[in-house]
Structure 1
Amino acid sequence: MSLLDADGSPLLIGGELRQGRGGTFATVNPATEETLGQAADADAADLDAAIGAARTAFDDTDWSRDHALRAHCIRQLRTALTEHADEIRDITVAEVGAPVMLTHGPQFQGPVDDLEFSANLAETYSWETDLGTASPMGIASARVLRREAIGVVGAITPWNFPHQINFAKLGPALAAGNTIVLKPAPDTPWVAAVVGAVIAEHTDIPPGVVNIVTSSDHSLGTQLTTDPRVDMISFTGSTATGRTVMTNAAPTLKKTFLELGGKSAFIIIDDADVVAAANYAAFSVCVHAGQGCALTTRLLVPRAHYDEAVNAAAKTMGSIRPGDPTNSGTICGPVISDRQRGRIEHYLNLARAEGGRIVTGGGRAPDRDRGYFIEPTLIADLGNDSTVAREEIFGPVLVVIPHDGDDDAIRLANDSPYGLSGAVWGTDQARIDHVTSGVRTGTLSVNGGIWYSADAPFGGYKQSGIGREMGIAGFEEYLESKLISTAR
């Protein structure tokens, strides 16, 4: 039996699967431009009910204090999602345009498996720490530091890796004892609604602990961030929207976790295999059509090897054709929407206007009559001050920039408002250490090392965000600290 009804996937509010008061809105397959079906369109009253349900579940139940129940429910969710993996995988490929190969990793199965890390934390985390006895002002006092759930979490998530980002918030927040209102992106409502159906029908998660509200109305994000019943906002999206989230949360002094944009640098040291490194950089920016905030989209290469790197990257990118995401061999599928494709085309036109050279790609895939496909595109002969080198494009676009040694590469990498991720390729460990120490960014890959893992914190410096997601640090974002001092 299908988890979703194509005539209107439901909201989850207070443990009940229901339709939205605003009717329904269409969700579209970005590879075919065809309407997949309808999603529940929540209005302000629906969101108000979801926030109220989350507030009641936190205030009036033992959810935040019953660590064993939380671990049990998170494992139930992981099991149920795995049992329905084929259906959810099909929905993900169709709605997100994600290549099916990625659903066996970060587009579905990886984030589902990572829920076990959150379940384990609920059971094993040290919720109290004995600070011993001290005598401030001559009064002997025994101190205990207790960690407790923050309360109601408003989670706002984007469309590019929806399962990864939804579960990176749901897992730790639930393990910490919070209740949640999840507002997913309107481009991908089904991948969130199907999780709501699994929660309601296949887990013991109490009513109101998780609420999932899909909507075409972007103003609901403002409502969620300003409501005084919400204690924390966990947001992943653009830096511009992150600023608005902070502004909206400020009057009630909500805690805000922000995972924002990036324009990350891939640095090749001159002792590296330049061709191999350039090939790796070119390949990675094509995965999922470049729709990843942590992808390295600036390739910084030694000036003496500039032409060699450009030719190698162009050969790799030119060999990757945008294709049907249901095909197991597809690496680069469509971008999410016609709007996003138009945005990428705007940047490509800017690159040309600023004097950039389009080495390969540069437009819509010529062999695709339908779908929002963009060719993998390599841009050369522009400096780090160019628009396409400074702004996040969110497409399969790589800009190659020459550097004049390790310190210059560090300077160029840091000459950005962002600081989310990066990569370094070389052979001399001392030089690698010098570069990794100098680059101000939240994650770095060295010679192809993978930093993505449930137990590893992810987040950025500067305008790439505030706080960390995943790992112990990500879990503790959802906790408050309470000091209890007892006179002896």
Structure 2
Amino acid sequence: MLIDGKLVESTRTFTSLNPATGQEVGQAPEATAADTEAAVAAARRAFDTTGWATDTELRARCLDRLHQVLVEHKEELRELTIAEAGAPRMLTHGNQLDIPIEIVRYYADLLADFSFREDLAEVESNGRRHRRWVEKEAAGVVAAIIPYNYPNQLALAKLAPALAAGCTVVLKASPDTPLITLALGELIAEHTGIPPGVVNVISSPGPAVGQLLTAHPDVDAISFTGSTATGRAIMESASSTVKRVFLELGGKSAMVVLDDADPASAAMFAAFTVCSHAGQGCALTTRLLVPRERHDEIVEQVAGALAHVSYGDPADPKTYMGPLISGRQRDKVDGMVQRAVAAGATLVTGGKKVDPGFFYEPTLLSNVDPDSEIAQEEVFGPVLAVIAFEDDDDAVRIANNTIYGLSGAVHSADEERAVALARRIRSGTFSINGGNYFGPDAPFGGYKQSGVGREMGVAGLEEFLERKTFAVVVG
């Protein structure tokens, strides 16, 4: 682990598995309460007693160097990401690694133009003139807690803007992919020149470390990505000290195929989207809403598209879909599919475990009740639920019939109609006719129980800033 500028071991370790084989990748250190306290103390000292929070040029140089280091060690990180996260090699050239590295570049460059000061108009009060302005200051010590599905992207989308803002960070790795995040800590310690205590990286298999961080009086802000249930618990825990909280939580996003859309194109897009990283993405569209009169036609086309999804060894450049992260997650997915069929959904294709490793067949369910478990709960597996609608208003109603609001999509030959429908769906991101919104400059986050706040873009930087208003008498 990285604590106060030093790489430290632990008296206890836990095993990290390769989800494609079920075999051990390596051992990760298990942080104790004392390790966690030491990491928080180091971050607190670095924020309170050094110039990190106020030296913008230093922060820009360190982020620039971090970007260089990540590029230099990209291939090592790629192989580790394939082995530990089960991410297909082709995905590491996109959202699993290469694009996340550019998040660091984005924030290093943003500092050159970003103003930490905003002048307000002068006012007159009690016969005197008053000059006023606002300064943006670092929020303080940040506890960043990430899940397993996109460990590089999630770590860097929290770390880079927090560091750009002048915060110090305790980054907790996912218990399922600790080695990837620990490798990031090692690169920071040995190659970047980031001062001791500014970044601390710890790992643990259980919830105790996260619970300690979220309630710790010396932690000023929490940035968490994970399940909505855990997000609720974190918000409750953070309330004891009224911390700033950023939450990026679950999703049950809908792809709406309107009656004028090209069904073959939409079917292919839906099939390959839901199988991206074996469905382990909170923003993936896992509900496919289709016109009732075209339900059977589109279901047939989606089934045909799913048959072309290659799955297997994630190290093979030709593999599109890798495994689920663990046997526990695969059992959860399979249980939800079996319950959906028992509740009346039609299993069109898939629905089976594949060994060795933790693979699950690309799965299509049709005739799904929009109020059923499979249509309401996040699966986090390669499972697509097809729901019929009557008209545009009905499609919007079904799409919004969820506690979540993270993402969505619509396909239509009429762009104006598609945009109008997209605006009616309550979600933080939206794809129109296959449009890709994801990028370091694009704010990402959700409505409703999909979270609080935005990650990436200028909005992502401002999540880690406080605002202080000044006034001085000038006459």
TM-score of the two chains, using structure 2 as the length reference: 0.99
Question: Could you tell me which residue of structure 2 aligns to residue 487 of structure 1?
Answer: 473
Q: Which residue of 1 aligns with 2:34?
A: 45
Structure 2 residue 242 is the aligned partner of structure 1 residue 253: yes
Question: Mean alpha-carbon deviation: is it higher for 355-364 or for 422-431?
Answer: 422-431
Alpha-carbon contact 1:275-1:308 (below 8 Å) kept = no
User: In the alignment, does 2:397 pair up with 1:408?
Assistant: no
1:424 is matched with 410
For 2:188 and 2:417, locate their aligned partners in 1 and report how far apart those are by CA, in whole Å: 50
Name the residue aligned to 2:14: 25
How many angstroms does 1:121 deviate by? 2.0
What secondary structure does 2:204 align onto? coil
Match of 2:458 in 1: 472
- 2 CA distance for matches of 1:138 and 1:386? 66
Distance 1:374 1:350 in 2: 16
Other-structure match for 2:443:
457
Query: SS at the partner of 1:53?
Result: helix
* SS of aligned partner of 1:451: coil
Instruction: Give the match's secondary structure for 1:135.
Output: strand
Contact 2:419 2:432 in 1 (8 A): no
Q: Is 1:60 matched with 2:49?
A: yes
Could you tell me which of 189, 214, 233 is aligned with 1:200?
189
What CA distance in whole angstroms lies between the structure 2 residues aligned with 1:96 and 1:125?
35
Instruction: Report the Cα offset of residue 72 of structure 1.
Output: 0.6
Q: Answer yes or no: is the 8 Å Cα contact 2:375–2:385 preserved in 1.
A: yes
Tell me the distance in 2 between the aligned counterparts of 1:443 and 1:399.
20
C-alpha displacement at 1:318, in angstroms?
A: 2.3
Matched, 1:14 2:4: yes
1:344 aligns with 2:333: yes
Is 1:434–2:420 an aligned residue pair? yes
Q: Distance in 2 between matches of 1:176 and 1:469?
A: 13
Q: Does 1:89 align with 2:78?
A: yes
Counterpart check, 1:240 vs 2:226: no
Identical positions, percent: 51
Following superposition, the deviation at residue 321 of structure 1 comes to: 3.8
Counterpart of 1:353?
342
Aligned residue type for 2:422: T
Distance in structure 2 (CA, Å) of the matches to 1:282 and 1:136? 64
Equivalent of residue 215 in structure 2, options 223, 226, 231:
226
Matched with 2:155 is: 166
TM-score (norm 1): 0.96
In structure 2, runs of 5+ residues without a counterpart are none
Hey, what's the Cα distance between the residues in 2 that align with 1:344 and 1:439? 27
1:407–1:207 Cα change, 3 Å = same
Q: 1:37 to 1:433 in 2, by over 3 A?
A: closer
CA distance in 1, matches of 2:23, 2:264: 40
Distance 1:433 1:318 in 2: 31
Give the 3 Å change call, closer, same or farther, for CA 460–137 of structure 1 in structure 2.
Answer: farther
Task: Give the aligned partner of residue 146 of structure 2.
Answer: 157
Match of 1:423, as an amino acid? A
Residue 460 of structure 1: how far off its partner (Å): 0.3
Preserved CA contact (<8 Å) 2:173 2:182? no
In the alignment, which residue of structure 2 is the partner of 1:284?
273
SS of equivalent to 2:10: coil
Matching residue within 354, 373, 384 for 2:359: 373
Structure 2 contact 148–174 (Cα < 8 Å) conserved = yes
Aligned pairs, number: 474
Q: What are the Cα deviations for residues 275-319 of structure 1, in whole angstroms up to 9, with x where unaligned?
A: 210111111111110000000000001111111110011111122
The question of whether the paired residues in 2 share the 8 Å contact of 1:318 and 1:361 is answered with no
The secondary structure found in structure 1 opposite 2:196 is coil
Match of 1:184 among 161, 173, 191: 173
Distance in 2, matches of 1:384 and 1:356, equals 11
Contact (CA 8 Å) 1:43, 1:217: kept in 2 or not? no
Deviation (angstroms), 1:322: 2.3
CA RMSD of aligned residues (A): 0.9
Retained in 2: the 8 A contact 1:322–1:374? no
Where in structure 2 are the equivalents of 1:306-345 lying within 5 Å?
306-345=295-334
Query: 1: CA distance between counterparts of 2:464 and 2:244?
Result: 9
What letter corresponds to residue 428 of structure 2 in structure 1?
G
Shift of 1:138: 4.1
Match of 2:253 in 1: 264
More deviation, 146-155/215-224: 215-224
Whether 1:107 aligns to 2:96 is yes
Whether the 8 Å contact between 1:163 and 1:191 is mirrored in structure 2 is yes
Aligned amino acid, residue 130 of structure 2 = S
Do structure 1's residue 76 and structure 2's residue 76 form an aligned pair? no
Q: CA deviation at 1:104?
A: 1.0
Offset of residue 217 of structure 1: 2.5
- TM-superposed CA distance for 1:137, in Å, is 4.6
Structure 1, 99-108 or 205-214: larger mean CA deviation: 99-108
Contact kept? 2:310, 2:318, Cα under 8 Å: no
Structure-2 separation of matches of 1:121 and 1:137: 41
Partner of 1:132: 121
Please name the residue that 1:448 is paired with: 434
User: SS where residue 459 of structure 1 aligns?
Assistant: coil
Offset of residue 136 of structure 1: 3.7
Q: Deviations over 1:445-470 (max 9, x none)?
A: 00000000111100000000000000
Q: Counterpart of 1:8? A: none
CA distance in 2, matches of 1:74, 1:219: 31
- Which runs of 5 or more residues in structure 1 are unaligned? 1-10
